[in-house]
Structure 1
């Protein structure tokens, strides 16, 4: 339950050993290299060192990696073989790597050819889209027998166009033929939006025709660069599409045929990633003619091991020192059990500051408790545990996904426990009538009371963690002012409102209510006197003291937020029981009805489990982020990003 203490490492070595030292650090994966370029502007180092690295080379490698990645994606996309869910990185020996490097020129030619294939596929797709759009625009005019390029004769104009469907086609034709000399109007087509017309009129009727067009919202349609009838152009476009589809299939087949080259491309991809990462690390170093200097962060407990390992193999000078006072270091968390499993939940909110306590081992049990309480069906919990256990078994050690499934395993156990206590087993009514503890459906007020109590415990724990952070910062007086007094004030309020809590006898708690009045008053006075202590003006001290009392509203709001534990728990139970009732409505007196019953149960319970498990995860996270972290957590830490071998497809062996 801690943020790992970091030490700063400074290493001076010979340039001839630089690549090997960097490679060793990558294999260890425990050193975050930081820029040493501040030495270039320092008077002490001025003229002694120069910047190391090759950023142009990094850019070139990035481009090569991107190109190979696109090619691998293309082969994966068009080849029938799909990666399995549990397919792991294969190990590649040095001999295979050497073979790949010897064929690098050939592989780069292959990459160029696939890039050309992809460009051709994009061009074919764009051309097909244009032809499909052309066909769609021509289809309403299929009955038009006049070639599209003919728009006039010596004495007449020929136009095609549309009017909105809200206007009458008959009225449009009648007005046009009645007001224009020698006009011919033909309705070619219509749909839910507009009507399609052919209009032929004498040149002298131009003005009258335009007037009618304006009245009916006639919009003229012109097909530029098209010759022949609409039907001819549709047939031509369809033939082009057929040809495009054929060529598209041939290009896809050509890409698929490169599947045999995929393993070597994957090796080359990961090799270039390692070279790129090395060059990036080198770009953070400074050097002289024969030596280089590296600075970075390493876990404190590994300092001597790293130093001994490097000094044993190479001639180098290594100094390991603690951070200076106030110097921030990257955050690496070290937790076990449920604390480790919830690190991803905290990570979505933000890593702790280096002066803060790591909240995961404290927050973890609450997260699991609340998740299970909101899902609260023992059957769902067992399914969840089995699925999570299977995934943990299949995944390799060190896979980041493993932590998530460990969290799901803990949450499944909590769900099973709460479900058993409440009699929740897939919503089966017989079990809910005989719970081990009580049934929330039958007695929701009891669950509400416990939900609010859990909320108070959760919030009080958060305030307690605030005290621990103050101790770490050596602000001992603030523990009294910002923790103890608030405990007094909030406790007084809780005791004072006890009679209004569900299922509490007011007469039995009269003594506690009386004590609550005094605690509430004493806490309020102390807050008024102390919460403005950082203000310089006496008036502002008083104003700040009185305004701090408003936090009581926030506390009450926070406690009421835990009523969601009741709401989501009831939702799971009620929906599960409804699914069962729906399945049994048709009876079970035939094979088909039994099959229907099974299908309804599977679909219904799967939906209920999925939607409520997601809701439980989201709301359990929200209770941590707002109600719990809001009491003490500042965050703002930067993640520890060590230099390491980070490959995507293969594991390269020396």
Structure 2
């Protein structure tokens, strides 16, 4: 559910701003709405402090060490951070230089080493040299007075050194000498690689300050947040005004605090024009979907609906059908168990892990129902489908259409409840629900080949008339809305049919798995070499290719059906702003 909010105004004397903000921060329940621009040199300094701390911590976290490092306090965090950033920049500079030079070394290794000073000395004595590339069919076109020495050959071309007693004008592709000889480049490469290693070793020596810098980052974020709130307050003479929002159940505590501190306080319901933050408060099981919200950076608007329970239920079903294979579900489950074992103690919020447990389990169940375990060939032949009905393409397609109609029926059923007690609005939603199931039966007739019946046509006509009556009763933009109704009715059919993607994507994954399984079977396991090659094919498809395609399929299709189709029918636009109360991160 979306927690009801109150809009609050707190008035304090300007001399008491610091004390007042500290008290409000201790309460930790006011989402502040800034009324003045957050500009100024001091704020920029604070933001820069947070940025360099985050960069330094990210550098330290990227360092891989086998054993745990003892932690200690950084005497001067700015000096420590600047040292880490300088060392990282130094290592990055030399890494880039080494990478570029390695390309040159690889290019010039076939030529062997050469002394550029000796080449210049020869030229001063009247002996000129030039590197060139000569196609084999043009090797006889050497001008008089020029000697060609082939250094190496590659792809039908001889790479040569041309020697002459005068400056040359060769009819071949000229190759300029590099700025340094091969040995000199290799020596410089070794020197700079050593510099990279030394810089990285010095960075490792700063790992002992990681926890100290983490604490400092929270402290500097608190300072930044405090100064932003202070800067965003509106001040007039001796008074300052803070505007914000708080959950309704926190109002009593705020009122008690303002009364004790003798501040001015006004509480009221938010107006339609207010940008009210959204705070979701759901049962523990429904909160499992919140990592998806965070990943997609979406949240329902304050005046919209919270679909978290339905999102979780249907997303889990869609995930299982899109991945469609018990073998891959088992891999996801094992990966989640490994992540939980390794990272569980350090993760403050394990919702993502528990969500992955649910998704993996649903995938395994769907795979066992259909008898799909790493495809239907090879491994899958040992697993009989628990529900053979699901092995028929027609049945799965019909199930997809039914899921689509049912899923979207929930959205219009929700709208029906919200329109109580408006009779025309309620009838309109019944009309849309009727159209959804008409679309289901039309899909069965037009796509699955069921016998044609006029009943859905009659039902659709009646539903459209009911919806038209509601549009006319509203007396607003009647002509435009009636015109758009035509496209909306067509959209209902396409939305229901679009759920066939659950079948199509799942089938594609199984087909890819079976194709590679067939390749592995043709290679055979008759000897060690064949067994290794066949195993590599299976590992490639089952642990790499199909897993990636499955994740992409879920991100593209599984989320779309909830965020777009379902939300559109519910008039949910995901326009929300996350509730972020003014509180201390350091003390959290």
| TM-score normalised according to structure 1 size | 0.72
Give the counterpart of 1:641 among 574, 580, 587. Answer: 580
Contact in 2 for aligned 1:160/1:196 (Cα 8 Å): no
Deviation at 1:276, TM superposition (A): 1.9
Stretches of structure 1 lacking an aligned partner (at least 5 in a row): 38-50, 85-89, 91-95, 227-232
Contact in 2 for aligned 1:357/1:468 (Cα 8 Å): no
Contact in 2 for aligned 1:423/1:439 (Cα 8 Å): no
Give the counterpart of 1:65 among 50, 63, 81. Answer: 50
Contact in 2 for aligned 1:32/1:297 (Cα 8 Å): yes
How many residues get paired? Answer: 579
Give 1:43's aligned residue. Answer: none
Q: Residue by residue, what CA displacement relative to the aligned partner does 1:159-217 show, whole Å, maximum 9, x if unpaired?
A: 4143464x6341332xx22xxxx3334334443496444344565xx7xx64x63xx4x
Give 1:328's aligned residue. Answer: 275
Deviation at 1:335, TM superposition (A): 2.2
Give 2:289's aligned residue. Answer: 342
Contact in 2 for aligned 1:9/1:297 (Cα 8 Å): yes
Within 1, Cα distance between the matches of 2:68 and 2:321?
37
Larger of the two Rg values belongs to structure: 1
Does 2:373 align with 1:456? Answer: no
Give 1:277's aligned residue. Answer: 225
Deviation at 1:637, TM superposition (A): 2.2
Give 1:48's aligned residue. Answer: none
Give the counterpart of 2:139 among 170, 174, 197. Answer: 170
Change (3 A) 1:600 1:338: farther
With 628-637 and 449-458 compared, the bigger mean Cα shift is at 628-637
Give 1:219's aligned residue. Answer: 174
Deviation at 1:329, TM superposition (A): 0.9
| Paired residues for 1:407-426 under 5 Å | 407-424=355-372
Does 2:85 align with 1:148? Answer: no
Q: Secondary structure at the match of 2:366?
A: helix
| TM-score normalised according to structure 2 size | 0.79
Contact in 2 for aligned 1:576/1:605 (Cα 8 Å): yes
Within 1, Cα distance between the matches of 2:512 and 2:562?
26
Aligned CA-pair RMSD = 4.6
Within 1, Cα distance between the matches of 2:355 and 2:114?
67
With 6-15 and 145-154 compared, the bigger mean Cα shift is at 145-154
Give the counterpart of 1:258 among 206, 211, 227. Answer: 206
Give 1:446's aligned residue. Answer: 395
Give 1:238's aligned residue. Answer: 186
Give 1:564's aligned residue. Answer: 501
Q: Secondary structure at the match of 1:330?
A: coil
Q: Residue by residue, what CA displacement relative to the aligned partner does 1:590-648 show, whole Å, maximum 9, x if unpaired?
A: 999999999988876545566435534542212223322232322322222222334xx
Give 1:621's aligned residue. Answer: 559
Stretches of structure 2 lacking an aligned partner (at least 5 in a row): none
Contact in 1 for aligned 2:128/2:165 (Cα 8 Å): no
Q: Secondary structure at the match of 2:120?
A: coil
Deviation at 1:240, TM superposition (A): 3.0
Give 2:249's aligned residue. Answer: 301
Change (3 A) 1:292 1:521: closer
Within 2, Cα distance between the matches of 1:222 and 1:429?
61
Q: Secondary structure at the match of 1:456?
A: helix
Q: Residue by residue, what CA displacement relative to the aligned partner does 1:290-318 show, whole Å, maximum 9, x if unpaired?
A: 65432111112211123324544x44333
Within 1, Cα distance between the matches of 2:536 and 2:432?
55
